[in-house]
Chains A and B, each alone.
Chain A
Amino acid sequence: MEAERGRNMKKRNKKQDQYENSSLLRETLTRMVKSPTSKVACAALCVIVICCVAAPLLTPYKPTDMDVTHMFSGPSAAHPLGTDSYGRDMLSRLLYGGRYSIALGLAAAVFGSVFGIIFGCIAGYFGGKVETVIMRLCDVWTSLPAMLLCILISAALGPGFFNTILALAIGFMPIGTRMIRGQILSERSKEYLEAAESINCSTLSIMFRHLLPNVISPIIVATTMGVGLQITMAASLSFIGLGVQPPAPEWGAMLAAGRQHMLTYPYMIIFPGLFIACTVLSVNLLGDGLRDALDPKLRS
């Protein structure tokens, strides 16, 4: 039956192929919509992202507008979340800062996964010495605590938005490599690949059109969870002075700034951290929902 499927796939035209892939997408979306936590998480995430993107519309202040007459004022009508040590409005700093934090997390996770997929595919497909070398390097990479690695690379590359993305992505990469290669290993012996080879599919075609769709689900889930992880890592890096530098209102950097005054003005650390926690929570819940929706065992 698998051999027949291999033959039939070649015979089908492109339109039907798209239909097959989109029905997986549709099925996944339907299942996610059924779960209440997924819906709430997705909604919350959308709200957060929209607020950050539409920041100029939501707040009259710019994140760098200083107002020395109103430093350290607590939450009030004019400044819903208070002001910081320079009189800058916290809410607007948080909203603009969200752009940095979320973009960092997203980019780092996505790039890390992409690099990971590439290396994992190479390792998994070619096997032999290539695989051994790549996997050994992966093992060494993961034997270092991730935070340490990111600190080192970030220090080496220097602070800044894109450098931080690179540092985080490099740290995240081995996870994706391992995962993909493990998946490929277990799929490699399956018959539908033999069937595709037997009808003369090119190597690239086999990798992308047959192998990848079957191994992609765990990667999607891992990347989604990775976004949450990377947002936190990015904030940690900024917190200790690497990563994104002030006056950029990245959430971690805001926590670092607020720390000096937290014993007298606790709201300065409560709000940035709350924003991070809520965003990461939504992403994680979304990732959980995605994983349950993509689980083939639950598909009836």
Chain B
Amino acid sequence: MKKYILNRIIWLFFTVIVTAFMIFTILYFIPGDPAAAILGANASPAEVERMRSIMGLDKSYLTQLWEFLSGIFHLQFGNSWVYADTPVISIIAERLPRTLIIGCCAMVINIIVGVSLGVIAGTHEAKWQDSLAMTIAMLFISAPDFWVALILIVIFAKNLGWLPAAGIQDGVKSYILPVITSSLGGVANNSRQTRSSILEVYREDYITTARSKGLPERKVIAKHMLPNALMPIITVVGTGFGRITAGSPVIESVFGVPGIGLYMLNAMNQRDYPAVRGCVLFLAVWTAVVMLIVDLLYGMVDPRVKVRYGGGKR
């Protein structure tokens, strides 16, 4: 087990470095001069030059890359080019919790609602519960999330006036719509995957064995079907975990939530490269760490993996 964990942690480092390299290079080759963009059209060439040297843009590619990479491991992403003297990391720290709140709440809804819907659909194959659940899932997947967001705003903020249209100043109320919108795709995916997992397990012989012992159906589902159907479900939930908790810049943009995604979008527009790098890297690392935890969970649920890695009782 320890070897496995070590392996995955090394892999995590590798991912961080490659991602950092990628993001740096992509931004480096974007046409246009960031310094000029930030200073505006009226800046003189001398001012631009000075800005460039402040930003470190006059150094070679490799030097800049090295500075960036070595800064990562001290969590130094440099100062924002737009808000000079403000370290990017502090802005990220301030905005991160909002993104994470939305993401984690959405994840909880995904798991609870998605899996339940899938179990209902799977155990009532071809009956109305199945059709209804799958239709709902299909609609959730097909409708673009930002469109649903806009519609919800019109209904709940304008027509009914129950919830705020944007911003986070209203406390819990302002998070309701973003969370609901962010959870739609995940609920749909989870329910579809759960359903197909349950269907595969439903016809297995050991389910008939369980029934023939006289177990009531709900116990058959809970103790025999679900644990065996769990593996693919965990995979889908897990893959989505990193992505969903990392938040969506688009959703944040629609609801005006000052989180990391929105920060990144604004930074891109303003050519604030350190900020962009910081955001992307943070989100990438977050996703990778979450996937690592999911992988470890895999090992704990599947007894075959458990025994192989020495976790079982022998």
Contacts and interface: CB of A to CB of B under 8 A. Distances in A.
Contacts of B19: 140, 143-144
Interface in A130-180: 136-137, 139-140, 143-148, 151-153, 155-156, 158
A191 B277 CA distance: 49
A240 B268 CA distance: 11
A146 B146 contact: no
Nearest to A283: B142
B242 A143 contact: yes
A259 B150 contact: yes
Residue among A136, A147, A284 having the largest count of chain B Cβ atoms under 10 Å = A147
Interface size class of A (residues with CB under 8 A): 35 or more
A277 B288 contact: no
Contact of B151 (A155, A273, A281): A273
Given A144-B283, A151-B268, A156-B26, A240 B147 contact: no
A239 B26 contact: no
A120 B223 CA distance: 39
Interface size class of B (residues with CB under 8 A): 35 or more
A75 interface: no
Interface string B113-147: 00000000000000000000000001101111011
B43 interface: no
A228 B142 contact: yes
Interface stretch (B75-83, B86-94, B248-256): B248-256
Given A139-B15, A144-B283, A281 B139 contact: yes
B245 to A, nearest CB: 10
Interface in B211-247: 242-243, 246
Given A148-B283, A277-B142, A263 B265 contact: no
A152 B283 CA distance: 13
Q: Determine the main DSSP class of A at the interface with B.
A: helix
Nearest to B21: A140
A137 B17 CA distance: 12
B268 A155 contact: yes
A73 interface: no
Contacts of B264: 148, 151
A241 B157 CA distance: 25
Nearest to B286: A145
A143 B144 contact: no
A232 interface: yes
B280 interface: yes
24 contacts: A139-B11, A139-B15, A140-B19, A144-B284, A146-B243, A147-B250, A148-B264, A148-B280, A156-B29, A158-B31, A228-B141, A236-B144, A240-B253, A241-B269, A262-B150, A263-B157, A266-B154, A273-B147, A277-B144, A277-B147, A280-B142, A280-B143, A280-B144, A285-B138
